[in-house]
Structure 1
Amino acid sequence: MATPHRQATTPALAHALSAAERGLAVIPLSRTKLPALRSPHREDPGGPAPCRGECGRPGHGVHDASTDPARIRELFTAAPWATGYGIACGLPPHHLIGIDLDTKPDGDSSTALRELALRHLFTIPPTVVVLTPSGGRHLWLTGPPDVAVPNSAGRLAPGIDVRGAGGYLVGPGSRTRHGAYAIAPGTAHLAPAPCPRALLRLLLPAPRTRRSTPSTDAAHGQGLVQFVRSAHQGQRNTRLFWAACRAYENGLGPTLTDALLDAALHTGLTEPEARATLTSAARMTGHRP
């Protein structure tokens, strides 16, 4: 994935050309991870013009991204100080989505992602993983061509940022003032994997919710309880956690706790196990157990 291009004048250009051969649109980055070329409109009277590259001059950030080797060489020639490259997200053919798992002193983003996966019943498939100098990871996924995933910081979970349409990922082989980005061992041969549908729903803006009524709440609550009661060995904790999360998200957590606990005991879970799972679900959804 990060194999340098043979006919290039700098390591950054070599890696950028290699990425472009795989259909990834790139731009030059400085050691600060920002676009290496400043806006050509920065000194225009009245402030920057609302231009996304229509003027033909470089310096429009991710809007300059290209897979054309000649254009890429032009960009790097205009920014000989570039030490890295950015990969534009959301563009065809890959419609790349980047899941940035940061390292935070107040929480483990990898654990948060695993809890989200358990809570929403999805798994991250084998895919390209890029290691960052700070010890974080970038997971590369692909999205549908007709869906624009927005950029976000911490909305999915603390320490997890999302790079979507209009955003970019620092490409492997790039060097910054904090160190180098590199492909994780064992993932260089992989292509970006499709984003799981359940995760994709979380990445998109929340749809407008309908108003609930006592009757619909009761039916929904009973459905969650039955979902737990019908669990087989090996899926009891998973189902209880998922149902409890749904209950708290819909404002039914406190009223359903006893019923969910009884349902979990019916499946064979011990009371300490069930209560620990209910507490974890409450905490995960931002409620006091």
Structure 2
Amino acid sequence: MAASARQTAALALAHALTAAERGLPVIPLSRTKLPALRSPHRGEHRSVTCRGECGRPGHGVYDATTDPAAVRALFAAAPWATGYGIACGRPPHRLIGVDLDVREGGPDGVAALDALARRHEFAVPPTVTVLTPGGGRHLWLTGPPETVVPNSASRLAPGVDIRGAGGYLVGPGSLGAHGTYRLAPGTEHLSPAPCPEALLNLAAPPASSPPARTGTASAASLTSFVLASPRGQRNTRLFWAACRAYESPSPSPILTALTEAALTTGLPEPEIRATLASAASITARTTTGP
């Protein structure tokens, strides 16, 4: 291994150990931002759902740890690592990552989050912010123990991704294919701030029970579910109901009813169209596979 590669790996380990000392579970990442260790189950013919119970490394975010000895062992097994990932949703911080993508000619996640905050009447507090090589940023927020926040991509708004349980954030100091992730000036001294309640409601599943999934949900039950949306959960409930509608053999009449219901709750028509499009995309990927 060249001296520069050894220095990069040593620096990544040093940053990871610092994060682990702060109670943030970490794993080594390669330059592609993917977990550096391959699955120990590759090549096995049977379906494997192991999340680390086998005791071997290579289970992605499920390897994440705050134990210094375990962190060193993971990086020793992946000397090519150039960065580290921080597991979200894990105690004590229970991180919720808000990944704001900013690309020329693409969605502006920062502007989209600002618009979302105005629409739902919340303010993002000062918090740890990591600048990405591509011009985006990661906001670190914390969630309550009783709330499980799932991962999502552009569901809340174009360019706004959520990293929750089972996801991870690229840690500051990591080297990716396009450059280094670094803390935004002025946020180095901050701790992750609590997630605003309205944003938490948007990012988390609906708090009340959705219609039971016994076969295809009826148009009436899905429409009632959307009509009963409290402020802060309208988009989330519409997305869930639309996914169920797309699972139906005849989704069009249900989607029409859902659109009318969402308009009644006060959701703007462009946001409704974007939510339905996201539901269509997610459902298509689920039914057809990767």
Same fold (TM > 0.5): yes
CA RMSD across the alignment: 2.6
Separation (CA, whole Å) in 1 of partners of 2:205 and 2:106:
26
Query: Bigger radius of gyration, 1 or 2?
Result: 1
Q: Deviations over 1:6-30 (max 9, x none)?
A: xx97000000000001000000000
CA contact (8 A) 1:249 1:285 kept: no
Q: Deviations over 1:108-158 (max 9, x none)?
A: 211111111111110000000000000000000000011110001110111
- Give the SS at the match of 1:119: helix
CA contact (8 A) 2:263 2:269 kept: no
Question: 2:95 aligns to what?
Answer: 96
Match of 2:262 among 237, 240, 250: 250
Separation (CA, whole Å) in 2 of partners of 1:46 and 1:286:
41
1:55 Cα offset (Å): 0.8
1:284 Cα offset (Å): 4.3
CA contact (8 A) 2:101 2:109 kept: yes
Q: Does 1:78 align with 2:77?
A: yes
CA contact (8 A) 1:248 1:285 kept: no
Question: How many residues matched?
Answer: 223
Separation (CA, whole Å) in 1 of partners of 2:159 and 2:189:
27
CA contact (8 A) 1:248 1:282 kept: no
CA contact (8 A) 1:129 1:140 kept: yes
1:204 Cα offset (Å): 1.3
Question: 2:56 aligns to what?
Answer: 57
Question: 1:239 aligns to what?
Answer: none
1:177 Cα offset (Å): 1.3
Unaligned residue ranges in structure 2 (runs of 5+): 1-7, 212-220, 231-258, 275-290
Question: 1:148 aligns to what?
Answer: 148
Q: Does 1:138 align with 2:138?
A: yes
Question: 1:193 aligns to what?
Answer: 193
Separation (CA, whole Å) in 1 of partners of 2:164 and 2:69:
26
- Give the SS at the match of 2:263: coil
Residue 35 of structure 1 aligns with an amino acid whose one-letter code is: P
Residue 250 of structure 1 aligns with an amino acid whose one-letter code is: A
Separation (CA, whole Å) in 2 of partners of 1:249 and 1:64:
43
TM-score by length of 1: 0.71
* Range with greater deviation from structure 2 (133-142 or 104-113): 104-113
Separation (CA, whole Å) in 2 of partners of 1:147 and 1:188:
27
Question: 1:264 aligns to what?
Answer: none
TM-score by length of 2: 0.71
Unaligned residue ranges in structure 1 (runs of 5+): 1-7, 221-246, 257-279
